[in-house]
Amino acid sequence: MMTVIEIRDLKAREILDSRGNPTVEVDVRTASGFGRASVPSGASTGSKEAVEKRDGDKKRYNGKGVLKAVEAVNTVIKNALTGENALDQRGIDMLLLELDGTENKAKLGANAIIGTSMAVCKAAADSVQKPLFTYIAEDVAGMHLTHELPVPMMNVINGGQHAGNELSIQEFLILPMGFERFRDSLRAGVETYHALKRVLGERHGKIATNVGDEGGYAPPMRETRQPLDAITDAIAEAGYAEHEIRLGMDAAASSFFDAGTGKYQIDGVLKEGTELLDVYKELVASYPIALLEDPFEEESFALFAKLTAQLPGTIIVGDDLFVTNVKRLAQGVQQHAANAVLLKLNQIGTISETLDTIRLANQNGYKKVVSHRSGETEDSMIADFSVAINAEIIKTGAPARSERTSKYNQLLRIEEAMGEAARSKGPSLRH
């Protein structure tokens, strides 16, 4: 029989995210534990994502207030969850879905629902006195904890919707993969980030080292090869080899796709999907690129499948394609579209639904990339979550800005807690 630890109290409030926009924070108390969770928000969102609830009152926070979502937690959700078993994560999450009753969580708001789901999970872990990563793995996911930590994937140059430059591609990333320990991966990434600041400053002046929403630099660049050249040079300047630190790109291609013409505007040129596919192949041949995320717009399952087949050694990640949704991933599996799935808790809206997507990914050999959002908070739960579900990669911004480093710092603590058994996923990911 399942142990019962009753939820005694829930309270939500409006706080600020890293962009200065309101977001939801939820506190959950049991007799023996406490959990607090705050909810991130994305700038480039997939159209199939769960819907966050905003107030729409233009006189207050430019319409972005979340008092309605806060009220939903403090009334409807609180009334339903008080007295329920905090240890029954799936039961709690299913109750939240039932209370909302919509396909996309529009009634209560995905921000109210995921905030509650996360806070309950944290309170439960605290109640049974287990580290959060251990509790999620063993008690919630029913998975074996491997003592492996994910590779940190850092956004070091911003373009697209995350920056004020003319780059079409949204994120240029580094993956320090050639290291046995997470702390060494992190250090290599940090040293490269600082070397990149020097490289950009020398080439483009001080203005090039201003940072974007996720801590990456936003230099005045236009063409896709420019950031790749700068990052490659920075890796060398930091004293690392190409096999130790690989590159990645999050195209967020839906943002430069024109539905009217069916073409992509990249580097100032309109291209058909098949032409864009050739561009990616050329880039992978020219640079040490290990990963491409959202290379095509979010309905292009066929092009994703084609690219995955033609670049078998490259990690092809679906974000807007899958939106952490098990039904979308099932469609991808059927069509062999992508070979990795991006996981954002607030994209689907509950921990249990995210775990359903993870199980399908595991069954079909898809790699798992746990991700932050561009509007983040100091909440570090995704660090614990990434370790708990045995994710290959964690994507949580540049090693700058506290809402990003909070996740990296939590991973350092987890590595320390695991002791000598702790290993990085990097070396196994390289092969």
Active-site annotation, residues: 214, 344
CA distance 210 to 224: 19
CB atoms within 10 A of CB 147: 15
CA distance 67 to 57: 10
Q: Which of 50, 131, 142 is nearest to 89 (CA)?
A: 142
Write the CB contacts of 416 (distance below 8 Å, at least 6 apart in sequence): none
Phi, psi of 149 (to 5 degrees): -110, 150
CA distance 311 to 283: 11
Q: Which of 55, 192, 28, 180 is nearest to 118 (CA)?
A: 28
CB 227 within 8 A of CB 409: no
3-state secondary structure of 194: helix
Q: What does the block give as tokens for 298?
A: 């979010």
Distances (CA, A) of 392 to 154, 170, 236, 357, 370: 14, 22, 25, 15, 8
Q: What does the block give as tokens for 325?
A: 């949704």
CA distance 54 to 22: 9
CB 214 within 8 A of CB 184: no
